[in-house]
Structure 1
Amino acid sequence: METRLIDVLQPIKNNDYVLPENQSLQELTTMMLQKIGSVHPFLRDDLIHSIFTNFIERGHYSHEQLKNILQSILNKNYLFYRISSSKKEEDAVFKRSFSVLLIPPIIEKHKKTPFLKEAEVLRVWDNLKKYMQQEMDHRGYVQDKGWAHAIAHAADAIHHVAECDEVTETEVKEMLPIIKSQFLIDQPYLYDEEERMVTAIMIMFKKIQPIDRVEWLETLLYYRESWQDPREDIIINNAKHLLRALYFRMLDGEYRDLRQVLENLLRELRKQEAY
């Protein structure tokens, strides 16, 4: 089926994403959703994701169709596919990570011409929170299978949804501790995940008070429990990378006070280094 689907999708991409007259959009959408988590990187990323994004941006889907796609990907068969039962390095992550990557273009369409109710936007946010709490596969690029990059994709979704007026201070303050828990882990991030997440954090910071920003940043200061456990060095490195990315992003704009906070935190983290 994957070879057949490539044969169907490749001409669409080659023809500037024009849907052939004899092709049913609904049938094509169903086929792409069925294979959204394919381990074939060209099919999954270059064709299915690319075509979905372009079709959404160019208005091929009605608002009702976009709602249906969004509803489909937020369930246990997509965003939460085998999230609790799969092993950390199982192929199920591709279905989850490329489902979450469909959220940004749909939300961007909503921001330009609102079609989602407040409750529907907040449902997306709540599902992103649950997803961030549960995702345990932190791989970036997987040999022969391409990008998994679940946390980076989630960061993109958080960024776009956080920009919605429906997401307020309350929702942001619920998400930030979850982001912290995903970065203070003993698995290294190697593919700029922190940069993608900082983009989301900068949006969220606009919706909370200065004191709340500082309080959250201080939770990123990790105090090691052992000087012999190398896993703690990975946690410290993850914290440093996130704080540094935030610091350099704050060089532009009125963030002088926060930059000072970040400098102090980074100095304190150096005291936790084992070398």
Structure 2
Amino acid sequence: MLSFEQGRTNLSHLRQKVKNGQLYQSLGSQLLALAENMPYVQQASVVDTPPLSTEAEKFMQEYQKYWHALEKETHAEYVDSEISDENLLLVLQQLAHQSPRYRDDGAFTFLSNAIQGEWLTQRQLSWMAEFLISDHQLFAHIFEPHNDAVYRRSFSILVLSLLLHYHWTKQKFLTIEQLDMVVDQVALYAILERDGRGFIKDNGWAHAFNHMSSIITELSAMPELVRADKLFLLATLLTGYRALMEPLVMGETQRIIDVAMRLANQSDVYAEYILLNLKFWRRDLVSLQPPREEKMWHTIYNRARFFDSIVLYGEDNVPQKIWDYVLSSRDFLV
């Protein structure tokens, strides 16, 4: 069993090998071995989440009304156009809230409007990115069974994807060193996350695997990143999917297919890697004894859904070699 820091170091070494051209064909198996040797536990501990913050809610509502009025060119009650760091931190903390009122309708909507409306300074954007990729945000309780910290992790990834989109489409604010750290942290998150829940009762969407797909889409579009890093991120996304032992049934597989096929259509390097993974998945199933546990059946049906989703993506949108293999193999998986 590896410690968290050992896992981080080993993953960094694998990334460097990919960049040096020393690792390709066995990348998936090495990532899976790493993922399966991390220190997961069977019991959850108490998750600290932010208290209900009427102060944060009031602040966010005031700004939302102000921005809406400006957009409609109507009278707007004055608010200080410069958002303070203290208030920004207060909002970011609400991303960890179980209540969608404070998390989705509150913090996420506010941050999305603030980023897209260019209401934040470059320094604040950079600081936000560093806050969101911190271990405290991305890996809170990640080795434990289902817990409320999934919101902190998942929504940190989602807001970070908005920041990355702003960076490469509007104005660059991240340094090369910061982007390098983003790749490391996102890759580690992708192979560690085991919470596949979509909509959770009264608390709303967790959707970690959807948000994971969103951020890897943004990173894959960045001209600053070399192709080896984009391949590495794709590999970690597919590894996380492969390692998951619970069902993804709320659109996550389709989002992952979208990321994978977009890359596959850009370069044969990505297409070959995806095809290699599909072949490994089939080989895994050939060597397996008939599953006796529910979680193993979930891995089988997740893979079947992956093949089916490629077919639904359409022959015109899938590289021919992948399409032919999927059609020849999909019936074997169910």
| TM bucket normalised to smaller | 0.7 to 0.9
Amino acid at match of 2:326: L
Q: How big is the shift at 1:127?
A: 0.8
Matched residue type, 1:252: D
Q: Does 1:192 align with 2:251?
A: yes
- The superposition leaves residues 121-173 of structure 1 with CA deviations (integer Å, 9 ceiling, x where unpaired) of 23212111111122222211111111111121111111111111233332233
Q: Please, which of 250, 255, 276 is the counterpart of residue 215 of structure 1? A: 276
Which amino acid in the other structure matches residue 161 of structure 1?
Answer: L
SS of the residue 1:126 aligns to = helix
Question: Residue in 1 aligned with 2:212?
Answer: 154
Counterpart CA distance in 1 for 2:289 and 2:226 is 36
| Match 2:226 to one of 168, 177, 188 | 168
Query: Aligned AA for 2:155?
Result: F
- In the TM superposition, residue 187 of structure 1 has moved relative to its aligned partner by 0.5
Unaligned runs of 5+ in 1: 271-275
- Do the aligned partners of 2:139 and 2:153 also contact (CA within 8 Å) in 1? yes
**Counterparts of 2:278 and 2:177 in 1: how far apart (Å)?**
29
| Counterpart residue number, 1:89 | 146
AA matched with 2:61: Q
- Residue 77 in 1 paired to residue 124 in 2? no
For 2:311, the aligned partner's letter is Y
DSSP 3-state at the match of 1:219: helix
Higher relative contact order (CA 8 A, sep 6+): 2
Matching residue of 1:9:
60
Task: Indicate the structure with greater helix content.
Answer: 2
What CA deviation, in whole Å up to 9, does each residue of 1:223-263 have, x standing for no partner?
03225444332211100112222232243346233211211
Total equivalences in the alignment: 268
> Is this contact kept in 2: 1:122–1:166, CA < 8 A?
no
Distance 1:44 1:157 in 2: 19
Moved more, 242-251 or 18-27: 18-27
Percent of aligned pairs sharing the same letter: 20
CA RMSD of aligned residues (A): 2.3
| Cα gap change, 1:20 to 1:144, in 2 (>3 Å) | farther
1:139 aligns to what SS in structure 2? coil
1:39 counterpart (98, 116, 136): 98
TM norm structure 2: 0.73
Structure 1 residues 132, 211: CA separation in 2 closer, same or farther (over 3 Å shift)?
closer
TM-score by structure 1 length?
Answer: 0.87
